[in-house]
Structure 1
């Protein structure tokens, strides 16, 4: 306990805000304090830990190596203290909390609508801040405490990352039927000869489709690579482009009447769509409740064979 006497515990709250936001002004807004006050607190923290904590790199603030090691135990300790001095009973109807969730616009389109209906009815004090990133970046953000939850496909998550399957997804193809054979199907040779739309945050990403092609020594022509699920479908009418995509992202009633949906002409394994979080969030009752709410929201999805 001697070390605790050397620091104002309020500084630990400021430290958590600074390490999470990586920005003095945003930390000040989060703490409802002035920017000069938070800058002064940062100077005190740097002196206490004998470390810069936040360093400027490539035009933005990043965590020092020491700060990266401080964040996980700091966050776990603050949650523990909050539970100690707070109300012993968690009540979602009265709790006020802001959660940072990373997801693609695929998840934003199919998960958020039903989730928000449920939250507004049962936890109106829950606010969501949604961000988008690659799956690798999402995992890094979970590790560093930048986000509370991530929704996506995470086959290479580290041991500290917990995962829960929300649903099993599969791939389908979409194309303008005017550029398809009469039977509405493509052979593998015909499919490979077509120009393709690829959905990825990074143009050169290697997703499950690319991995399946590489394993067979095959390659397709990527004519357009973009990160926007909804926009990708609108590129297809009147063109010979083919889109191979997760089935729930394209509901028949929502895409152009000229488009035809068909099975991919090569085996593409089904995959689990998951929510992921850092293990330090395991005992947080509000976080647990939100995870259950997301699972319940996913039960309202339209089946992928609709």
Structure 2
């Protein structure tokens, strides 16, 4: 591809048809202009001397200029080549920036989740960010108020819950079904497992407020689906209030097994599985995130850690 000698004037920025231009020649040109030696340029680029010489011949044809001329035992740059030096250096630097830039670590990473999962995850996610991205502040958000809208605007980075229909532009990974356990005070008549799940409604039924207050199209935590239906229901604001209530009443609460074991150990409660009747319903939860973060390595690491700790209980 011949280029008019106008390139030898100040109009060096006139547009080339990049579709017909081998951009590998730019690397060769940069090395030749900097090293002023065909052999040294070839060695730097891991090209043979004949290949480097052919590239120089092609560049001379494109620019209609010798670019390098022999002087005694070395080479000198032509006036046009001298003008090209800063332009080629800037072009190579910009191209390097384009392909080497990485998305900077986020200043903060916000995860919306129910409090019973937060018990399992907060310490471990804090440690994860301290290791892989010390400048990132981990921000746990308990509950799902307007979570999808906040995911879309970037106020929340990840949500752990259930959505009836994740809109276009979101990813939703549903984790395998998680075993559940019943929680009660020690010595409870049902703690031996002799009361069927569908009969647990005769005891006080605890509803955790954040578990059911989201409408259709929003995210919820799924605990409400596990609750034995009974005549008497008491709504409490959080899992800790629920645990305290279990200690002093005949109430029964069903939670995903990892959360149930944590609460049991912390508050001295009994865990059990009914030995007769239908099996306990499993717990379902998904990770929901916006597509803008789908390929981020930090986000992918968070999702992998969350899945591991939710399924295995830490």
How many residue pairs match? The answer is 212
The C-alpha deviation readout for 1:21-49, integer Å capped at 9, x for no partner, is xxxxxxxxxxxxxxxxxxxxxxxxxxxxx
CA contact (8 A) 1:179 1:239 kept: no
Q: Which residue does the alignment assign to 1:170?
A: 179
Q: Which position in structure 1 is the counterpart of 2:72?
A: none
> Structure 2: which 5+ runs fail to align?
1-95, 216-220
Query: Counterpart of 1:19?
Result: none
Relative to structure 1, the CA distance from residue 270 to residue 302 in structure 2 (aligned partners, 3 Å threshold; closer, same or farther) is: closer
Q: Tell which deviates more after alignment, 226-235 or 238-247.
A: 226-235
Aligned equivalent of 1:49:
none
Partner Cα separation in structure 2 for residue 130 and residue 234 of structure 1? 23
Aligned partner of 2:288 in structure 1 is: 276
Who is 2:169 aligned against?
Answer: 160
Taking the aligned partners of 1:260 and 1:224, their CA distance within structure 2 comes to 20
Alignment of 1:28-177 (within 5 A): 88-90=100-102, 95=105, 97-134=107-144, 137-165=146-174, 168-177=177-186
Residue 110 of structure 1 deviates from its aligned partner by 0.9
Which one of 217, 224, 238 corresponds to residue 228 of structure 1? 238
TM-score, normalised via structure 2 length: 0.55
Cα deviation, residue 124, structure 1: 0.6
Give, in angstroms, the shift of residue 112 of structure 1.
1.9
1:247 aligns with 2:240: no
The answer (yes or no) to whether the contact 2:184–2:246 under 8 Å persists in 1 is yes
Specify the alignment match of 1:262 in structure 2.
273
Deviations 1:100-145 (A, max 9, x none): 32222223211221122122122111112332333x7222322344
Structure with max Cα Rg:
2
Q: Which residue of 2 aligns with 1:14?
A: none
Using the TM superposition, give the Cα deviation of residue 205 of structure 1 relative to its aligned residue in structure 2, in angstroms.
Answer: 6.7
1:191-248 per-residue CA deviation (whole Å, 9 max, x = no partner) reads 12111112231666798576588xxxx9423532124123322221231111112221
